[in-house]
Structure 1
Amino acid sequence: MTAIVDFLNNIFWNYVLIYGLLAVGIFFTLRLGLVQFLHFPEMWRCVRGTGEVDTNGITPFQALSVSLASRVGTGNIAGVAVALTLGGPGAIFWMWMVALVGMATAYAESTLAQLYKVHGADGMYRGGPAQYIARGLGLPWLAALFAVALIIAFGLVFNAVQANSIAEAVSSAFGVSSATVGIGVAVLSGIIIFGGIPQIARTAQFVVPIMAGLYLLAAAIILVMNITEVPGILAGIVRSAFGLQETVGGVAGGVMAAMLNGVKRGLFSNEAGMGSAPNIAAVATPDPHHPSSQGFVQALGVFIDTILVCTATAVMILLADVMPSEQLTGVALTQAALTDHFGGFGQIFVAVAIFFFAFTTIIGNYTYAENAVVYLGAGKPGILVLRVAALAMVVWGSLQAVTTVFNFADASMGLMATINLIAIVALSGTVSIVTRDYLRQRKAGRQPTFRIADHPGIAPGVNRDIWK
């Protein structure tokens, strides 16, 4: 079984996804007319909204917060450090590039999730890739396969991995046993998860901005403390990405190593094209009332995750006297960098950051899995089973070495991402139509509003009551 999983991961992550995600990002960037660059201010406008409330959904800011809860995790702390260790500073440049084109992919998949959303049994909006695969492409069997892969990866295994990261960080910083940490995280997660998606959204809306804000503040303080070195570090990142400078801060990495590690870690961190964030994008009440507005919101999530948070980690490491090091990588490297900047407080700060980053990822991941369970028709009993199983995986993950099961989750995520990429490319014409409709209305000085009756060519599968 292990050999099969390893083979699938090799195919998915070394061939299909690393090139497929990039290609799809470039495809949507060109087909949508550089939408993420030319209309960047629109992303902030759509997040703010007008304050209108729809009890069937959550607000655009809450949807952004939940997606950031999932995106901004240990990959932003440990993953960036690994990219630097294996690929050198040039890897950060390629993380930027994959994020910039990935914003277009994130826009496309979340726009489709909004367009094809439905009312669940409880009246709440539900949707995501499973819905647009089934209703947009007419392939319910493929949608079911996607939903199962998402539940395995995001609902179960990744939560164990995040809990493992929390247990390691808290145990090393404060000496608390892993079992105690695991049970504590499970109880705290359960209080929020059993409140349903509205409770998760309210929690994310409060925690995520503070969590990310304090982390970025720490990076800003370090930048100010080392301001004379910053231009050289940033220039070195760009030069080493193209082999024009082999070392920055003492780190060596060839062009291909920089590119491969930067792309892989960037894709894993921002999740653009994976088919995860669209599940919460569909639950939002878009403001303006148009599918594209939630596409803009989720494109912004990719920008914040990679361009801001991942860059903050990279700069903090490169400005510290901790590289090169054969002994340090991942979380340990980031902790060493913060300790170099802030003394003993640095290790504690990283442990606390990992706790909140990983904890919010657990509750964010759960929301995606719940949408998949609802799509499969499991109803309230299925949701209850998922909640119990997710919390059990949190406790289990805090006590175990999760390498093997993490590889299985990678295979599941690789499968769901492959399915999602095929689906959004097949529906790219629909994305283009919806985008042009939004931009045309905005250019005319009107508040964009989507009416399905104006677009009979894409009417099949779209809920006419929602978009009447």
Structure 2
Amino acid sequence: MGFFDMIFNGVNDLTWGWALVPFLVVIGVFFTIASGFVQLRFFKRMFRVLTPDQNADPNRISAREALLVSVGGRVGGGNIAGVAVAITAGGPGAVFWMWAIALVGMCSALVEATLAQVYKRKTEGAEYRGGPAQAIVHGLGANYRWLAVIYAVCLIASFAIGFNAFQGNTVAGAALDSLAIPRPVTGIVLAICTGLIVYGGIHRIAKVADVIIPVMAFGYIGMALLVIVLNLFNVPAVIWDIVTNAFGLREAVAGGMGAAIAQGLRRGLFSNEAGLGSAPNVAATAYVRHPVSQGITQSFSVFIDTMVICSCTAFVILLGDTYVPGADGIDGVALTQQSMVDHVGGWAQYFLTAAILLFSFSSIMYNYFLGENALNFMTQKTIAKHILRIAVIFIVFLGATAPAATVVFNFSDPMMGILAVVNLLALMMMFPIALRVINDFRAQLAAGVERPVFDPAKFPDLDTDPKAWPDAPSYKG
């Protein structure tokens, strides 16, 4: 075990340790500038997805459902515990740099989701499948299949296996601490619920997400708004504190501005996953008229995750008296929970437990689908899918019942590091293609087309699936 720990720690140091975060930031800034700040130009269009389409086909995954599944996956422990860790280690200024990386990450998310849509394939069951693995094979060529396989293996190892164990452990720990529910009981209930969902496929995942994600998000946002209203006159001072700490004008923790930047960027990227290559797998399942439409939707997902929900956690912490800058004390989810209790009373710990349950369960659904999509790329055998489903159910139960079991899954971070490196290399090579598709979307808007339509015939050099674009003028299905 020690030998494997050494290997995994070495890989983790080579990726997350020093190279990957700057790589993500630089590429995100490059995409933003090269695309003409596309995430800001299309910002108003993002909110259209919130309105349900009355004419939507119930047998297809809508853009709104894909958004909610993505939000459910992105929103999790990073929004509750991760923000608290960033503030503890980097001071209030870390929040500003989380906002900054989110604005850049919105462009990365738009680009990777657009490419996932361009190269998606229609399956026999009228579903759409795609993601970075499909984009690599069809966008870069069959000679790069080995790169796509590495991506798929790392996606299964990190998300479907490792992260689902962590989510089960988080739920069971919260239920034990606040409600005194034994871990095995939570594990059994969570495993049963997971089984019901994963055996329903992406349609059931999308339908469940359509119900629980709005409840989860609006409930947590509502609680944060209550805290802000109760402390309304202190909000300007908190915002000023965030800005001055971000630029080193006031030092709250050791390391000053450097600590704020490092913690803000890292925690922001961990939370919103922009550029890591996970969310495009969900983005490819949506039925849309143009790839950029879903790219805009996924960009909005990053905005919701960081600019809205992470900000809620930050204000809950900074508006209270529990957090003391530079002091050694509580951090992580305990800091968020005690800050909430300090504002509204002891009942808040039960609310936060419920929020963690919904956040974690939505992440389990999301993580499973990522694993299934990666497995589907490598093999079409039904037995392989059943093995993965049983493995995920067992992993969720194992993570919930054994407090120290998550140590076994420390390979998740290095696997995600490799995953992100592969995805970023592919994005850089295919960015000219994404830019062509973005410019096509812009040209149609400029010509007065309210809802642009993607026509594969206009891109004959791209290995697209014409059956995936039934609204195209050239479609002959």
Same-fold call, TM cutoff 0.5:
yes
Mapped partners of 1:42, 1:184: distance in 2? 40
Give the 3 Å change call, closer, same or farther, for CA 24–402 of structure 1 in structure 2.
farther
Mapped partners of 1:200, 1:168: distance in 2? 25
Mapped partners of 1:233, 1:441: distance in 2? 43
**Which amino acid in the other structure matches residue 392 of structure 1?**
F
Query: Does structure 1 residue 216 correspond to structure 2 residue 221?
Result: yes
**Which amino acid in the other structure matches residue 132 of structure 2?**
P
State the SS of the aligned residue for 1:449.
Answer: coil
State the SS of the aligned residue for 1:228.
Answer: helix
**Which amino acid in the other structure matches residue 335 of structure 1?**
Q
Displacement of 1:400 after TM fit? 3.3
Instruction: Please tell me whether the aligned partners of residues 46 and 293 of structure 1 are also in contact (alpha carbons under 8 angstroms).
Output: no
1:61-89 Cα deviation digits (max 9, x unpaired) = 10000001100001110111111111111
Mapped partners of 1:74, 1:190: distance in 2? 22
Mapped partners of 1:49, 1:427: distance in 2? 32
What corresponds to 2:100 in structure 1? 97
Instruction: Please tell me whether the aligned partners of residues 56 and 125 of structure 1 are also in contact (alpha carbons under 8 angstroms).
Output: no
State the SS of the aligned residue for 2:274.
Answer: coil
Instruction: Please tell me whether the aligned partners of residues 399 and 406 of structure 2 are also in contact (alpha carbons under 8 angstroms).
Output: no
Displacement of 1:51 after TM fit? 3.7
Instruction: Please tell me whether the aligned partners of residues 132 and 148 of structure 2 are also in contact (alpha carbons under 8 angstroms).
Output: yes
- Spell out the pairing of 1:399-418 with structure 2 (5 A cutoff): 399-418=402-421
**Which amino acid in the other structure matches residue 246 of structure 1?**
E
Instruction: Please tell me whether the aligned partners of residues 128 and 279 of structure 1 are also in contact (alpha carbons under 8 angstroms).
Output: yes
Instruction: Please tell me whether the aligned partners of residues 71 and 305 of structure 1 are also in contact (alpha carbons under 8 angstroms).
Output: yes
Query: Does structure 1 residue 294 correspond to structure 2 residue 294?
Result: yes
What corresponds to 2:346 in structure 1? 344
Mapped partners of 2:54, 2:375: distance in 1? 30
What is the percent sequence identity of the aligned residues?
44
Displacement of 1:151 after TM fit? 0.6
Instruction: Please tell me whether the aligned partners of residues 72 and 361 of structure 1 are also in contact (alpha carbons under 8 angstroms).
Output: yes
**Which amino acid in the other structure matches residue 86 of structure 1?**
A
What corresponds to 1:176 in structure 2? 181
- Spell out the pairing of 1:181-192 with structure 2 (5 A cutoff): 181-192=186-197
Query: Does structure 1 residue 312 correspond to structure 2 residue 316?
Result: no
Mapped partners of 1:47, 1:442: distance in 2? 20
Structure 1: any 5+ residue segments left out of the alignment? none
- Spell out the pairing of 1:274-289 with structure 2 (5 A cutoff): 274-286=276-288, 289=289
Displacement of 1:244 after TM fit? 0.5
Instruction: Please tell me whether the aligned partners of residues 99 and 306 of structure 1 are also in contact (alpha carbons under 8 angstroms).
Output: yes
What corresponds to 1:17 in structure 2? 20
What corresponds to 2:109 in structure 1? 106
What is the TM-score of this pair, normalised by structure 2?
Answer: 0.94
What corresponds to 2:152 in structure 1? 147
Displacement of 1:118 after TM fit? 0.5
1:73-130 Cα deviation digits (max 9, x unpaired) = 0111011111111111111111111110000000000000001001234331100000
Mapped partners of 1:56, 1:184: distance in 2? 29
Instruction: Please tell me whether the aligned partners of residues 117 and 282 of structure 1 are also in contact (alpha carbons under 8 angstroms).
Output: yes
Displacement of 1:320 after TM fit? 1.1
**Which amino acid in the other structure matches residue 440 of structure 1?**
A
Which of residues 350, 362, 365 is equivalent to 2:364?
Answer: 362
Instruction: Please tell me whether the aligned partners of residues 84 and 331 of structure 2 are also in contact (alpha carbons under 8 angstroms).
Output: yes
Instruction: Please tell me whether the aligned partners of residues 87 and 261 of structure 1 are also in contact (alpha carbons under 8 angstroms).
Output: yes
Instruction: Please tell me whether the aligned partners of residues 337 and 348 of structure 2 are also in contact (alpha carbons under 8 angstroms).
Output: yes
**Which amino acid in the other structure matches residue 454 of structure 2?**
F
What corresponds to 1:322 in structure 2? 322
Query: Which consecutive segments of 4 or more residues in structure 1 shift more than 4 A?
Result: none
Instruction: Please tell me whether the aligned partners of residues 136 and 426 of structure 2 are also in contact (alpha carbons under 8 angstroms).
Output: yes
Mapped partners of 1:438, 1:355: distance in 2? 39
Mapped partners of 1:155, 1:241: distance in 2? 36
What corresponds to 2:434 in structure 1? 431
Indicate the RMSD between aligned Cα atoms, in angstroms. Answer: 1.4
Which of residues 84, 88, 106 is equivalent to 1:85?
Answer: 88
Displacement of 1:43 after TM fit? 1.4
What corresponds to 2:472 in structure 1? none
State the SS of the aligned residue for 2:60.
Answer: coil
Mapped partners of 1:2, 1:238: distance in 2? 39
Query: Does structure 1 residue 134 correspond to structure 2 residue 137?
Result: yes
Mapped partners of 2:395, 2:356: distance in 1? 18
